[in-house]
C-alpha cells in the first residue's frame, strides 16, 4: 500500500493543519517527518480553534494513529504543554500518539544559542521562531545530539550535562547580552522529560511504518514549513534547518521513495512569508494590508505579522517540480474576494533577461517580477459547498494555475473551518 504526502509549497502557513485534519478520516496513520515547534498548524471545527506545533494534525480523530518521526526535533517543555492542551478533548494519547526513538531533543541551551545567534546577526537575522531548531539540527548533523531513545538509558543525564556545558561556552562566544536562568530552564526541562517518559510510547518508527505498510494500512505524511524554506532548495540562508520537501519524508520517517503515491501540494491563493528573506511578489500597499487583515495573517507560533504578496507561479512551479506534486490544493481563495484586479507572477526579469525558473538569488536587486492580470471575484464564497457554486472568475483563476503548473487542483478551501472545504 502506498503512502501519501502533504506538503506546503510556499513559505509555510499554507493551511496544512486544516487539510490534514480534513483528510485524516481516509488514513490509518498521520506522521510528521521534519521540523519541530517552529511549526504552528491551525485546525478549526465545532467552533473550536486549536494550534498544534509538534503533534500531527490527525490527533482529533478517534482511531487514527499519530506518529512523530525521527526527522522531527522535540522540545519536551512545549510538547508537554501541547499534550496538556489536549486534556479537555479527552484524547487517549498514550494509545494514539507515538514518538520515534531516533527523534532529537531540543535542549534549553539550543534555544539560547538560537537567541544568541540571531542577536549577533543583527539586521541580517533569519527571523527564526527562536525555538532552537537550527542549533538542534546542527548537533544532529554534528553527531552530538540527544535522542528520545537516550531517555531510556541512565547515562543520558551525563551526556546532557557535557553538551549543555559546551553550549554555554558557545553562547559566551557570541558576546551578546543575553540574560537567562539555566537552572530554572533545566528544572522545567527535566520535569517535562519525566512527564513524557511516563505518558508517551517511544517506538522504532521505521518499523512501525514498515509493519503498517505490510498490513496495507494507509499513511499520510504531514509536512511542516514550506518548500521555499527547505535547507537545500529554499531561499538560503533565510530558511529552516530541515528538508521540508518530499525527500525529507523519506529520511524523516524511513520511507523508500518508490512507496510514495500521491503528493498533495498545498498553496495559498496569494503568498505570505514570516521572518526575513527575499519575497519577489511582496506587496507594500493597501492591497497587501487588506490581504493581511482579511486573511488574519499573523504567525500561529509567534504571533508576528506575516508579509503578504501576489501569487508567484515561478516559485510554485519550482516547488511542484522538486516535490513531484500530483495534486494541488488551493487555500484562502475567500480572502481575495472583493479585489477588483488580481495579479499573478508568471516570469522574473533577472539581470535584464526574462526567465521562468527560480534563480540562485531572489534578492530584490536582481529580480523584477512580471505579472499577468485577472479579473477578481466580488462574492463572499465562504458558504459555497460545491465547485459549481464558485464565481466564474475564481474558476478561471484556478484553471490558469492548473494549466501553468500542469497539475490539477483537487481541492479549494473557502474558510478556516473543516466544513469550508470543496473537493472537485
Among ligand IMO, ligand GDP, Mg ion, none, the one that 332 touches (CB under a kind-dependent 5 to 8 A) is ligand GDP
Active site residue 380: no
- Interface mask (CB under 6 A) for ligand GDP, residues 275-304, using x and -? --------------------xx---x----
**Cα–Cα distance between 387 and 421 in angstroms, integer?**
10
Active site residue 211: no
Best CA proximity match to 195, nearest among 40, 67, 81, 38? 81
**Cα–Cα distance between 390 and 308 in angstroms, integer?**
24
For residue 64, state whether it binds ligand GDP (rule: CB under 6 A): no
Among ligand IMO, ligand GDP, Mg ion, none, the one that 269 touches (CB under a kind-dependent 5 to 8 A) is none
For residue 334, state whether it binds ligand GDP (rule: CB under 6 A): yes
Q: Which residues contact 132 (CB under 8 A, 6 or more apart)?
A: 36, 73, 75, 106, 107, 110, 111, 112, 113, 114
Q: Torsion angle of alpha carbons 375, 309, 383, 330, nearest 10°?
A: 90
For residue 37, state whether it binds Mg ion (rule: CB under 5 A): no
Of the ranges 38-46, 158-166, 204-212, 367-375, which one interacts with ligand GDP (CB under 6 A)?
38-46
Of the ranges 9-17, 71-79, 83-91, 348-356, which one interacts with ligand IMO (CB under 6 A)?
9-17
**Cα–Cα distance between 249 and 325 in angstroms, integer?**
14
Least separation in angstroms between CB 86 and ligand IMO: 18
Site for ligand IMO, residues 298 to 357, rule: CB under 6 A = 300
For residue 32, state whether it binds ligand GDP (rule: CB under 6 A): no
**Cα–Cα distance between 11 and 169 in angstroms, integer?**
33
Q: Which three cell numbers stand for residue 39?
A: 511549526
Beta strand pairing call for 260-268 and 29-32: unpaired
For residue 40, state whether it binds Mg ion (rule: CB under 5 A): yes
For residue 271, state whether it binds ligand IMO (rule: CB under 6 A): no
Size, binding site for ligand IMO by CB under 6 A: 24
**Residue 37 or 145: which CB sits closer to ligand GDP?**
37
Among Mg ion, ligand GDP, ligand IMO, none, the one that 235 touches (CB under a kind-dependent 5 to 8 A) is none
Least separation in angstroms between CB 222 and Mg ion: 12
CA 362 from chain centre, in angstroms, equals 21
> What is the three-class DSSP state of 251?
helix
For residue 273, state whether it binds ligand GDP (rule: CB under 6 A): no
**Cα–Cα distance between 325 and 332 in angstroms, integer?**
20
CB-nearest residue to ligand IMO: 275
Question: Catalytic pick from 13, 75, 114, 417?
Answer: 13
Q: Which of 41, 131, 140, 147 binds ligand GDP (CB under 6 A)?
A: 41
DSSP codes, 123-192: GG------SSHHHHHHHHHTT---BGGGGGSTTHHHHHHHHHHHHHHHHHHHT------HHHHHHHHHHH
Cβ contact 9:46 at 8 Å: no
**Residue 128 or 413: which CB sits closer to ligand IMO?**
128
> What is the three-class DSSP state of 350?
strand
Question: Catalytic pick from 4, 21, 28, 41?
Answer: 41
Least separation in angstroms between CB 124 and ligand GDP: 25
- The residue with cell 507594500 is 284
Least separation in angstroms between CB 56 and ligand IMO: 12
Which positions touch ligand GDP (CB under 6 A)?
8, 12-18, 40-42, 44, 295-296, 300, 331-332, 334-335, 413-416
Catalytic residues: 13, 41
Per CB under 5 A, residues contacting Mg ion are: 13, 40, 300
Amino acid at each position: 500500500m502506498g503512502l501519501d504526502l502533504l506538503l506546503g509549497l510556499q513559505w509555510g502557513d499554507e493551511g496544512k493543519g486544516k487539510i490534514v485534519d480534513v483528510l485524516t478520516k481516509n488514513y490509518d496513520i498521520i506522521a510528521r517527518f521534519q521540523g519541530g515547534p517552529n511549526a504552528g498548524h491551525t485546525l478549526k471545527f465545532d467552533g473550536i480553534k486549536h494550534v498544534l506545533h509538534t503533534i500531527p494534525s490527525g490527533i482529533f480523530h478517534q482511531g487514527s494513529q499519530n506518529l512523530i518521526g525521527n526527522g522531527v526535533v522535540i522540545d519536551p517543555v512545549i510538547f508537554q504543554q501541547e499534550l496538556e492542551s489536549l486534556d479537555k478533548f479527552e484524547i487517549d494519547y498514550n494509545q494514539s500518539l507515538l514518538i520515534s526513538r531516533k527523534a532529537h531533543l531540543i535542549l534549553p541551551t539550543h534555544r539560547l544559542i538560537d537567541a544568541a545567534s540571531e542577536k549577533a546577526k543583527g539586521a541580517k537575522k533569519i527571523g527564526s521562531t527562536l525555538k532552537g531548531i537550527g542549533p538542534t539540527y546542527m548537533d544532529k548533523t554534528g553527531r552530538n545530539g540527544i535522542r528520545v531513545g537516550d531517555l531510556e538509558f541512565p547515562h543520558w543525564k551525563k551526556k546532557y550535562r557535557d553538551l549543555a556545558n559546551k553550549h554555554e561556552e558557545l553562547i559566551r562566544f557570541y558576546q551578546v547580552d543575553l540574560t537567562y536562568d539555566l537552572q530554572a530552564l533545566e528544572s522545567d526541562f527535566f520535569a517535562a522529560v519525566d512527564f513524557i517518559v511516563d505518558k508517551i510510547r517511544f517506538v522504532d518508527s521505521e518499523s512501525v511504518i514498515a509493519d503498517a505498510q505490510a498490513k496495507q494500512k494507509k499513511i499520510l505524511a504531514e509536512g511542516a514549513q514550506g518548500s521555499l524554506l527547505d535547507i537545500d532548495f529554499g531561499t538560503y540562508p533565510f530558511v529552516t534547518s530541515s528538508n521540508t520537501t518530499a525527500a525529507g519524508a523519506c529520511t524523516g520517517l524511513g520511507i523508500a521513495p518508490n512507496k510514495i503515491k500521491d503528493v498533495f501540494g498545498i498553496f495559498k491563493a496569494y503568498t505570505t512569508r514570516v521572518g526575513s528573506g527575499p519575497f519577489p511578489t511582496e506587496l507594500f500597499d493597501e492591497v497587501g494590508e487588506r490581504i493581511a487583515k482579511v486573511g488574519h495573517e499573523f504567525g500561529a507560533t509567534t504571533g508576528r505579522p506575516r508579509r503578504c504578496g501576489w501569487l508567484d507561479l515561478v516559485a510554485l512551479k519550482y516547488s511542484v517540480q522538486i516535490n513531484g506534486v500530483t495534486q494541488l490544493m488551493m487555500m484562502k481563495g475567500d480572502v481575495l474576494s472583493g479585489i477588483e484586479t488580481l495579479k499573478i507572477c508568471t516570469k522574473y526579469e533577472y539581470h535584464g533577461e526574462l526567465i521562468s525558473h527560480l534563480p540562485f538569488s531572489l534578492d530584490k536587486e536582481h529580480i523584477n517580477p512580471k505579472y499577468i492580470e485577472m479579473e477578481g471575484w466580488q462574492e463572499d464564497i465562504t458558504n459555497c459547498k460545491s465547485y459549481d457554486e464558485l464565481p466564474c472568475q475564481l474558476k478561471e483563476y484556478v484553471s490558469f494555475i492548473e494549466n501553468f503548473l500542469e497539475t490539477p487542483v483537487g481541492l479549494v478551501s473557502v474558510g478556516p473551518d473543516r466544513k469550508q472545504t470543496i473537493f472537485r
